[in-house]
Structure 1
């Protein structure tokens, strides 16, 4: 089986957060805790699969969460033009992961059925659950559906040789992670199945949660899917940029050869 190149591409950050924003039941709740925002690129020869899209400047202003670089510009050092992207795996429909669907107009979306049902169903009557979603992003996914450009999955599924998706849930009803065959072994792009290494290593949940049991079971599943724990790539952890080498530009890091650093030891 041929392996894939996997790259993380940072496009935004938030430095005004505390540990209370990242962990339930954390004793050190008022300590600063930064967050990075990424999209991910899978490459094999000429084939490119984008994992998530980030969000654009309009969404940044609407939510007062500035971006450092438009995701399209962030991908440019890799020679990726938005119009040429044919496949986007959407891990879930939260604004920071699906807020740029319109920027990749020719892409086929790969999405869990449960996520579309969740984002368009009665749960969205609750403002707290609705908060991470933006209606325009969900409508873009629906438009793509009516254009015949959505592939739905129910649980575990194969997207391409060496690329599979696995429904985790927890953070959002149809959240999926992406398992990729690399030179370092099976690597798992966890997205928000674990925002930080510390979430899944210490089994400490993230506060935005739809199903707490699914989130906790997901932490176990991530370890089972990856060849080793350090090949689980969290969705928002700045540590990714410390553990993995830069590639092409300082906001892009190469994941498929494994980390060049060592995971910290977290207190149990």
Structure 2
């Protein structure tokens, strides 16, 4: 399996280092929508999350809630959408046969309708909560949504892990939303774990956890099941501590997580720009 790391939506909120930990508080921070594109031998192309879609960047007010636009300050560059990234690699949108969503937030599910041939996989409880005002049903209404129950085997201390496709697993990480899941991919003799929004900043997995204050506050505001988020974050720390050599864990919006994978065996496409000077 070949894995591409894609940036499918840059966001530039105010706050600088209070948000992304870099530079001055007066610069615009940089967040990304970290998406995986998997080239599988049997199941065609698979996307893990879709970032912002064509409709989002062309007419943001129609699909992106005002509170998201004002807080996140998305760049809305069509070249960063998943479908344009896929095309830039020489594929067609119809080559994408599956989309695995970590959850339905607008910066994760925005590109779903750009891939009409794909089955869209999501945990059942996430779909059951789809009327939540944090979501934008216009982003995925009419898609081939496939619900999955969080039942299955144990995987590195996580329970209810379900095989979605060969070497692609759904790893429930409830907390940020009611049906939030990570997606684990086995490639190159090790596992990659896209942890979605189970945490927002790479420092949260370190031995002495830390997160920029504004980003940490936003993380708490957006959590749906607080105690489950905290429990799963603790399990992720243990996973990195005990199995970091065999499992590479990263989250959805940390530009450093995406930038750091440019030197890995997987290919990084559309990496975020280097941080601006203060």
- In the other structure, the counterpart of 1:183 is 188
Indicate the larger mover: 209-218 or 45-54.
45-54
Matched pairs, number: 231
Any unmatched runs of 5+ in structure 1? 125-129, 254-268
Kindly report which structure 2 residues correspond to 1:210-225, keeping only aligned pairs within 5 A, or say none: 210-223=224-237
For 1:80-229, list aligned pairs within 5 A: 80-120=91-131, 124=132, 130-131=133-134, 133-141=135-143, 144-145=144-145, 150-154=146-150, 155-183=160-188, 185-201=190-206, 202=209, 206-207=219-220, 208-223=222-237, 227-228=243-244
Shift of 1:53: 1.5
> Cα offset for 1:179?
1.1
Gaps of 5+ in 2: 151-159, 273-278
Misfit runs of 4+, over 4 Å = 19-23, 28-32, 223-226, 246-250
Structure 2 CA distance for aligned equivalents of residues 112 and 224 of structure 1:
24
CA contact under 8 A between 2:54 and 2:111: conserved in structure 1? no
Considering only aligned residues, what root-mean-square deviation do their CA atoms show, in Å? 3.0
Structural mapping, 1:24-43, within 5 Å = 33-43=29-39
Is 1:66 matched with 2:75?
yes
Q: 1:73 to 1:31 in 2, by over 3 A?
A: closer
TM-score normalised by length of structure 1: 0.74
8 Å CA contact retained: 1:56, 1:67:
no
CA shift for structure 1 position 90 = 1.2
* TM-score, with length taken from structure 2: 0.72
Structure 2 vs 1, CA of residues 224 and 112 (structure 1 numbering), >3 Å: closer, same or farther? farther
